Amino acid sequence: MKRRRISIIAAGGACALAVAASALAAGGSETSTVGASRLDDGKGLLAQAHITEQQAIAAALSATSGELNEVDLEQAGSSLVFNVDVGRSDVKVDASDGHVVRVDRDD
């Protein structure tokens, strides 16, 4: 009886390990895709931004939907903004606090 219990526990542990490894592998590939930089222009301005490129992308995706394209960091008047291309929209995200300044729809 004791050997059977140990076998069941070992088998359960092996299954749990396999599931955890699969989840880690799936999560790892997703993270590398999400974490990849799409910044095209304005890399020299990154030190002045108070939010990250990924935070700007998240803000832009909350304002509109579509395929994520390139991201630029640029001066817009006296403000520094991330210009995030999402689908057929250009989303301007304030680089100081992450709020969406404007959404311009491309025709």
**How far apart are the C-alpha atoms of 62 and 100, rounded to whole Å?**
9
pLDDT of residue 39: 80
CA 82 to chain centre: 14
pLDDT of residue 3: 54
Half-sphere exposure of 64 (CA within 13 A, CB side): 23
pLDDT of residue 74: 94
Residues of the chain with pLDDT under 70: 1-35, 107
pLDDT of residue 22: 36
> What is the enclosing helix (H) or strand (E) of 62?
helix 53-63
Question: Which residue bears the tokens 């999402």?
Answer: 86
**How far apart are the C-alpha atoms of 45 and 15, rounded to whole Å?**
48
Strand partners, 60: none
Alpha-carbon torsion 12, 17, 22, 27, what sign? positive
C-beta neighbour count of 15 within 10 angstroms = 10
pLDDT of residue 68: 94
pLDDT of residue 30: 29
